[in-house]
Structure 1
Amino acid sequence: MKRMTTSVLVLASMALSAPAFAGGMTAPTPEPTVYTPAPIVPVGADWTGAYAGGTLGYGWGNDALDNADDMTYGLFGGYDYDFGQFVLGGELEYLKSEMEDGTTKLDDMTRLKLRAGYDLGSTLVYGVVGAAYANADIGGTSYSDTGVTYGIGVDYAVTDNVNAGVELLQNDFNEFDNSGSDLSATTLGARVSFRF
């Protein structure tokens, strides 16, 4: 009988301890916490879209406009497309001029420009090439002709919709409207524009 009691006790203790071996009586281990970093969002402006603004600057001339320098001011509008780090766009600008010497006065220029630049985030550095149409008075006679314009510029995104910048352009007109004179002018303008 003693042998039977011992056998029953051994079997009972094995039955009670079996769940502990199977893991049923122990507390579950929590899963480790996995942290996923937030996606990196590029800082800067998206230069895609239409814009319009005004410019105020200074110009100085050469050739028929030698020793002529004075204020310039005007309006412009255009469209840019941001390809990531490369920006391409076009712009139309009307520029009024006070540049004159004793015999020659540059009245105004209309410039059609192609802009290609590098996106540095909130700053856009670009080059310009295009055509310029100018009206000038040389020796008391009015002339108008088409020439080339080229140069560099930089825009800074002050806000999502407001840009401020500077543009330096050279404008060359060979044999200006058969007047017998070449005409060239360099313009430096501070620009403010609104993007929409």
Structure 2
Amino acid sequence: MKRIATPALALAAFALTAPAFAGGYSEPVVEQPVITPAPVMPVAGTDWTGGYVGATIGYGWGDNALDGADDMTYGVYGGYDYDFGNFVLGGELEYNATEMEEGDNSLDNLTRLKLRAGYDMGPALVYGVVGAAYGEADINGASYNDTGYVYGLGVDYAVSDNMTVGAELLQNEFDEFDNSGEDLSATTLGARVSFRF
């Protein structure tokens, strides 16, 4: 009887555990994390509309009555721009003192009233300049002052909402400077820092 009971118990135990082996082994399902792409934010353009003030330092060299004169220039300026989208139009008043001299001839200072027109490239503004220039100079030891014209190119770059850095290359022309019998020309290249409001 013991011989029959042992196999019968083993068979009963197997029958009870058989459902656990049904279907065989299967890999557990692991849910993959859902990755959503970061939202695409539109690149905000720079709005150049508003007033600004700043300072400039640079270098100048002369021609005609100032032939051979070259040295430092430095000054202050203020203006206002209006951004029409891709086109920016503005005006600026600038005062520059200069150390340009050669012998008895020197350019003491320049005051410029400039019209700026440029292309809005986002954080950069590339522009052209035309306007009037007023200069005070010594020619052959005598003091003169006169009004001429200025033209050139410039670029500003916005480093923050309220601060820009830039550069301007300007040509200043005075024909028959204050009836002195001499033409006077000066080229200036200046680095600029502006605070916008």
2:183 counterpart of 1:182: yes
Between the two proteins, the alignment pairs up a number of residues equal to 160
Q: Report the secondary structure of 2:45's partner residue.
A: coil
Q: Which ranges of structure 1 fall in alignment gaps of 5 or more residues?
A: 1-37
Q: Which ranges of structure 2 fall in alignment gaps of 5 or more residues?
A: 1-38
Report the equivalent of 1:89. Answer: 90
2:75 counterpart of 1:61: no
Q: Distance in 1 between matches of 2:94 and 2:76?
A: 6
Q: What is the CA distance between 1:171 and its match in structure 2?
A: 0.2
Report the equivalent of 2:153. Answer: 152
Once the two structures are superposed, what CA deviation does each residue of 1:79-133 show, in whole Å capped at 9, x if it has no partner? 0000000000000000000000012010001000000000000000000000000
Q: Distance in 2 between matches of 1:87 and 1:129?
A: 14
Q: Distance in 1 between matches of 2:154 and 2:42?
A: 27
2:41 counterpart of 1:45: no
Residue 153 of structure 1 aligns with an amino acid whose one-letter code is G
Moved beyond 6 Å, runs of 4+ = none
Paired-residue identity, %: 72
2:64 counterpart of 1:75: no
Q: Distance in 2 between matches of 1:50 and 1:42?
A: 23
Report the equivalent of 2:123. Answer: 122
CA-atom RMSD, angstroms? Answer: 1.4
Q: Report the secondary structure of 1:98's partner residue.
A: strand
Report the equivalent of 1:134. Answer: 135
Q: Distance in 2 between matches of 1:108 and 1:158?
A: 30
Q: Distance in 1 between matches of 2:142 and 2:105?
A: 9
Of structures 1 and 2, the larger Rg is shown by: 2
2:89 counterpart of 1:98: no
Residue 118 of structure 2 aligns with an amino acid whose one-letter code is G
Residue 94 of structure 2 aligns with an amino acid whose one-letter code is E
